[in-house]
Amino acid sequence: MSVSGVKSSRISPPEKSSRVKAIIKLLLWWTFWLSLLVIGLLLANWQWHRATEKVALMSAWEHAPIHMNPVVVPENLSRLKLTGYFLEEETLWLDNRIHDGQIGVAVLTPLMTDSGTWWLIQRGFVPTGVDRQFEPSVTTPVGQALVSGRWQSLNHGGLVLGDNREGNRLQSLSLTPWSHLSGTVFEGVVHQESGDGMQDAWWVPSQMPPERHTGYAVQWLCLALLALVMAVIGHWKWFKY
């Protein structure tokens, strides 16, 4: 039987090569846009969790318990009332603080209590200007002092490139410079809000409200959905074969 009148169903080599190239382009297209989709969803989820953490932080701030000379580690953001003696000669400076548009340092002085427990007190802000050769100075109370402030746990240190200590200045909060002191110490710092020896208060636990994190989460989610829409539109418009 003659098959000369039957059209061949075989794909020619040029057509096959074109088909393979189209499939590769389609895979690359979807890989690109799906990657953007996944990244957008991950960032949206991260911002959403950050908003939840900020809500919990604000609640802890508003409903924090008050402790007078505690002998066990207090809850994060607790309000503390401490009596003791400042160790003036152990004062160091937390570097690179900005308050009301001024550059300066925060005063860090240990407070020794009668129970043998010492607390690192962040006493407030001192302006220094941009000249790092300037050595700050403050007046430290002599004798028994009363300090009220917020307790911040220091379970996670901040990122510091290079040495944390430069002379009498620290780049991040750490108890390491006072490791030679005897007595009990808890891993944290008291941000003074009132009492003896206080300077200009500047510290707050968070600068960004939860609403802003929620807004960022919505933006990332919209971008993720836009990536999906672009992938579908491009698929039907440019990859018909």
Which of 96, 86, 166, 165 is CA-nearest to residue 126?
A: 96
Strand, helix or coil for residue 142 = coil
Please tell me the distance from the alpha carbon of residue 51 to that of residue 133, in angstroms, as a whole number. 40
Confidence (pTM)? 0.69
pLDDT tens, 62-72?
788 899 999 89
The residues spanned by each domain of the chain are 17-56+210-238, 78-195
What CA–CA distances, in Å, run from 142 to 52, 88, 89? 44, 8, 12
Please tell me the distance from the alpha carbon of residue 115 to that of residue 20, in angstroms, as a whole number. 79
pLDDT score for 167: 87
Q: In the predicted model, is pLDDT for residue 9 greater than 60?
A: no
pLDDT score for 2: 46
123, containing H or E segment: strand 118-127
Q: What are phi and psi of 145, to 5 degrees?
A: -125, 150
CB 85 within 8 A of CB 145: yes
Supply 2's token pair.
């003659």
pLDDT tens, 196-224?
999 999 988 766 778 888 999 999 999 99
pLDDT score for 3: 47
Q: In the predicted model, is pLDDT for residue 29 greater than 50?
A: yes
CB 141 within 8 A of CB 86: yes
Please tell me the distance from the alpha carbon of residue 34 to that of residue 225, in angstroms, as a whole number. 10
Compute the half-sphere exposure of residue 178: CA atoms within 13 Å on the CB side of its CA. 30
pLDDT tier at 1, thresholds 50, 70, 90: very low
DSSP state of 210: H
User: Hey, which residues does 152 pair with through a beta bridge?
Assistant: 189
Please tell me the distance from the alpha carbon of residue 201 to that of residue 193, in angstroms, as a whole number. 7
Please tell me the distance from the alpha carbon of residue 136 to that of residue 156, in angstroms, as a whole number. 28
Supply 36's token pair.
């953007």
Q: In the predicted model, is pLDDT for residue 113 greater than 90?
A: yes
Strand, helix or coil for residue 9 = coil
Mean pLDDT computed over 223-227: 93
